Every structure is written in C-alpha cells, then in structure tokens.
Structure 1
Amino acid sequence: MSQPITALVIMGVAGCGKSSVSQALCQLNGATPIEGDAFHPAANIAKMSAGIPLTDDDRAGWLDSLANELRLAVERGQRPVLTCSALKLRYRERLRSAVDGLGFVFLELTPEVAADRVAHRPGHFMPKTLIDSQFAALESPEAEALVLTLDAATHDIQQLANQARDWWHAHSLLATS
C-alpha cells in the first residue's frame, strides 16, 4: 500500500518557479501555502543579497522553522504546500522528520534558464550570481520516495501545478484503496 501524501514541498534552485507553482497549486487544490523565503532570518537575507551563498549552518534554523510550520499546519488539518529549495538530501530529511507522508515536487531546469529567470525577477533578494552555488549544492531527489520531477523549463506554471495536483491526488487515492 502506498503512503498518502499529507503535505508537499515545491523544491528546486532559485528561478525554477516554486512560489508561482505553489500559488497555482493551492488555488487548484484548496491547499495552504507556506512561503519558505518568508522564514529566512534577516542575516540570511543580508548574506544572499550580498551574493554570499548560505552554508549548512545558515540554513539549519531556517529548516527547523519550516519543519515546525509544516508540522503545525498538518496538525491543524491543513494540506500545506511549502516552497523551499531543499537542495540537499539532509535538508529534505529534516523536513520529512516533521511530517509523515511528505511529498516533493522537484522543478528541474538548467543553470542557464535559472540565471535568465533570476536576472529578470524584480524585487527578490537572491542575485543571479548565486545560481552556480545553488546547482553546486543540489543533490537530485529523483531516486527518493514520494518525489515528482517536472521540467520547469518547458512547462508553464499552470501545467506544472496541474501535474503536481494530479500526482498528489493519485497518491491520496492509492493510499486509501
């Protein structure tokens, strides 16, 4: 029997469309959005704004906050959708430890597409110069359980949200049948 997906993380490098896909998915699914960037402490934002990549230590408290927010949302009976880069396996494991049945939607794209998108994204603290560090840190989740990989370079936001919704729904149905 398949495990039900109780919550989702929309993950990937900067510029892959995490926030946009999450918003579209939440509108389709009646889910609760959790914007991971809103939980970064000021020191992390200042560091990234200056073009300095975050370290594992910088991300530790942020990931703990996100894990706690996911846990609380599930306890309240919500279906949360978290946006989080979740670049490394240990980051994803930290989030999984907070919520049983946590699914990940990996929005995959090339460094060139990510850099172009970030360069044209107004008002965000993440500069284009950090794209290479994100790809260097990325540990692909494709072989992990409850992961859907989608091509964020060739599909539009609505297509990605529809695919994520259908996958989440299928995992919910499989678990109850």
Structure 2
Amino acid sequence: MMEIEKEALPLAVVVMGVSGCGKSSVGAGIAARNGMRFVEGDQLHPAANVEKMAQGIPLTDTDRLPWLDQIGVEIKIAQRASQGLVISCSALKRSYRDRLRQAAGGRLAFVFLEGSRELMLSRMQARQGHFMPASLLDSQLQTLEPPTGEAGVVTVAIDMALDDIVALACEGLKGVAIKGGFDAE
C-alpha cells in the first residue's frame, strides 16, 4: 500500500464515527503509515463529560462544544508547527465538523468509519476499561448525521481487517488531498 503523498497531505485528519467503529486504531494506523502525530480525542474530553458518559448519560451539544474546541486547538497547534496530525473525534453532526473545519482554516480531511450497529455493539462489549458503555451506542447512532456529500470526507466500511481499513483510508485521503477536497466549502 502506498503512503499518502506528503506534498498533497492535508495537515489534519479527523477519524470520525460512533463509538466502537475503530477511530483510535484506524487513526493510529494512518498516523504511523504517514509519519504523523496521533491524538486520541477521548483524552481531550473534560472530566465532567467522561463522568457523564461513564454513567450512561448521553452528551448534549453544550457538553460537546468545549471538547470540539479543544480538538480545534490541537489542530491549530499542529498547523502552526507544520506537523501532520491525525485525531480521533466522533464528529457526529455536520455542525461539529464545520466547527472543526473552521478551526483548521479549511485544511482538514475526515475519515468516516461506518458499519453495522451489531458490529460496533460487539466491539464495545468486548473492550476493557473504556468509559463509554455500550448502552450509549444507540444515542450516538441517533445523533449521527452521516457526512454524505461533504467535501474532504473519505468513507470506509469497518467490516474488514484493521490493516485493510487503514490502507483504504490512506488511499482515499491521497485522492482527497490531490483533488484539494479538504478545502472548506
């Protein structure tokens, strides 16, 4: 699998989707293949958000905004340093993605990981030590506004091996970067 061409690479890539889709694993894989830094977006949540989710309470837009803004700060820091960044973030709504695009000055691509509820639920039930309970999957699916038709988005199905998902994401990002599709609309 060919790496993303460095000169065509968007400086920031958000790996997005609902809980259990593999954002962290795929994001780390994309970053490793392309010599970019990976940031686990869940680690940027305010403590109150983590506590709320751990109790099985879905986050509201108001809860998510400070988190999205912190992700935007990470993107800006990487851009100022001319460093590539891959960051995981559910980015469930178009308004959230637009907020991140604005923070990135338009130089942002998204990898949307999509799959069946059953597959994501089984992954969530199998993982150990994560604050997000499987009971919140349905609220995330209800909140999700798929990025269909949005510029700079690569959609990858998650019903295959991790290496294949990462390879398809990298290939798609190469196409997005070459076409300039990561620019803000």
Q: Give TM class, smaller chain.
A: over 0.9
**TM-score normalized by the length of structure 1:** 0.93
Q: What amino acid does structure 1 have at the position aligned with 2:120?
A: A
Q: 1:138 aligns with which of 141, 144, 154?
A: 144
Q: What amino acid does structure 1 have at the position aligned with 2:28?
A: Q
Say whether the 8 Å CA contact 1:4–1:174 is kept in structure 2: no
The separation in 2 between residues aligned to 1:172 and 1:133, in whole angstroms, is 32
Query: 2:35 corresponds to which residue?
Result: 30
Say whether the 8 Å CA contact 2:13–2:85 is kept in structure 1: yes
C-alpha RMSD over aligned residues: 1.4
The separation in 2 between residues aligned to 1:4 and 1:40, in whole angstroms, is 27
**TM-score normalized by the length of structure 2:** 0.89
The separation in 2 between residues aligned to 1:13 and 1:174, in whole angstroms, is 27
Uncovered stretches (5+) of structure 2, i.e. residues with no partner: 1-7, 181-185
Query: 2:160 corresponds to which residue?
Result: 155
1:140-174 superposed Cα distances (whole Å, 9 cap, x missing partner): 0021001111111x222111111121222333344
Say whether the 8 Å CA contact 1:142–1:148 is kept in structure 2: no
Uncovered stretches (5+) of structure 1, i.e. residues with no partner: none
Q: 1:129 aligns with which of 135, 143, 153?
A: 135
SS in 1 for 2:165: helix
The separation in 2 between residues aligned to 1:170 and 1:148, in whole angstroms, is 9
Query: What is the CA-CA distance between 1:4 and the residue it aligns to?
Result: 6.2
Q: What amino acid does structure 1 have at the position aligned with 2:88?
A: T
Q: Are 1:85 and 2:90 matched, yes or no?
A: yes
Q: 1:172 aligns with which of 158, 171, 177?
A: 177
